[in-house]
Structure 1
Amino acid sequence: MMNDQGRVSTGSAVVPFCHSSDQPSALQQQFSEWECGSAVPQGTDRGWMCCPKGWRRFQGSCYFLSTDIMNCAESAENCTGMGSQLVVITSSAEQEFLIEQGTQPSKEINFYIGLFEDDVGQWQWVDKTPYNGTAAFWRKGEPSPGHAENCTVMHLPEGTHNNWNDVRPYERHHRICEAAAVTV
């Protein structure tokens, strides 16, 4: 648990946060309880990666899967307000991890992700990561033609790796937020 001295609990050990600057990250300013796991081989100094309590860690990122629903803009704003952003999926391994996290028995749920259509056929990630059509995971027949459906959701449990669908921005869905894990 982080206290006012900027410390975090890692099981039974309490270690100080190591900052690259004197300013804590936006994510660190939003949360007081953290869960940490060993991230590097034994014997190195910075051996813990931490995420806010209730978030899930994969590689160097922390993920929050919401239980409530909002429209596309509200979802993006909510993530930003927590010091994160809607998830940017850059690999098949990350896609698989998120599919596993979102699986709930016999419940089909849509989660907003950080992929938007700027102009007809021009998809852009929220953090400006270049969109790579060959590393996209659209459902068959998606994205739909036209510009009315310009936000993207991941449909879980789809039962397939390709589960993205473009939707209208006013539709209310869950969201997946992502932030860099804090290393201590």
Structure 2
Amino acid sequence: MAVEIMNRRGSVSPGTAAPAEERSCSWMKPWVFLVSALAIKTAFVTIYLVIFLHGSYGQYKTLLQNATEWCCVPSVSAGKKEGWMCCPKGWKRFQKSCYYISDYKMSWAESVQNCTGMGSHLVVINSKAEQEFLFNLAKGVFTNDYETKYYIGLSAYKNGQWQWVDQTPYKKADTFWKPGEPNLLFAERCAAIHVKGNTDPNTYSNWNNILCFTSCYRICELAVKFV
């Protein structure tokens, strides 16, 4: 008669079936692990969404704005290379400044905030050479508009006196107003470069004062980064 023999540890002899409880525990172990992993993952996702939706969106947006690619060219002085001059990718460099021309329109106040958000400011024009560069840059932008205006960082927005956004002193002799401008100063207190398509005459005296809530393109400026 075959007799089932148990060893001292309570296990069955070889060739006999394992108890039902032992088979059940072995079968459940992988599923317990998967369920635990899924619960941990769900918890992390939930925490992330809560943080993202309650206050971190602004930080995330700022991070995206600051994650900028830079384009660099050699910085040469007296025939010797002295490092690199860098501008954000997509910006145009002239002398020691970088310039960005927008592809959508805003009011003057919104334009100020937009440029500031990119670590720059609405352009401040200090010389005829800079004005010529910006005018040619603006003319080279293709639009379907009969005329196009680009906000610059000059306004009489607060006290009726023309002021640059970076507090550069306003000198009428160093300005480039169109003939007859500025006018209607009681209402039109913001300045813009005024371009009539690519056929605009080759004149650089093209500033126009306009209503500050007018939707215009804008030109932002920041200093070249030396590395």
TM-score range, shorter chain: 0.7 to 0.9
In structure 2, C-alpha distance between the alignment counterparts of 1:134 and 1:43, rounded to whole Å: 36
Indicate the SS of the match to 1:102: helix
Which of 50, 60, 63 is equivalent to 2:86? Answer: 50
TM-score (ref. length: structure 1): 0.78
Indicate the SS of the match to 2:76: coil
In structure 2, C-alpha distance between the alignment counterparts of 1:51 and 1:101, rounded to whole Å: 16
AA at the equivalent of 2:204: H
Indicate the SS of the match to 1:110: strand
Q: Specify every segment of 5 or more residues in structure 2 that has no aligned partner in the other structure, as ranges.
A: 1-61
Higher relative strand content = 1
1:34 aligns with 2:70: yes
Indicate the SS of the match to 2:136: helix
1:89 aligns with 2:125: yes
Q: Specify every segment of 5 or more residues in structure 1 that has no aligned partner in the other structure, as ranges.
A: 1-25
Moved over 3 A (4+): 41-44, 104-107
Higher relative helix content = 2
The equivalent residue for 1:171 is 214
- Aligned residue-pair number: 155
What root-mean-square deviation, in Å, do the aligned CA atoms of Structure 1 and Structure 2 show? 1.9
Which of 137, 155, 171 is equivalent to 2:176? Answer: 137
Residue 31 of structure 1 deviates from its aligned partner by: 3.9
Which of 127, 139, 159 is equivalent to 1:119? Answer: 159
Q: Structure 1 residues 145 and 77 mapped into 2: Cα distance closer, same or farther (>3 Å)?
A: same
The equivalent residue for 1:66 is 102
1:119 touches 1:147 (CA, 8 Å); kept in 2? no
In structure 2, C-alpha distance between the alignment counterparts of 1:155 and 1:54, rounded to whole Å: 22
Q: Deviations over 1:105-135 (max 9, x none)?
A: 6753100000011433x21100000001001
1:110 touches 1:153 (CA, 8 Å); kept in 2? yes
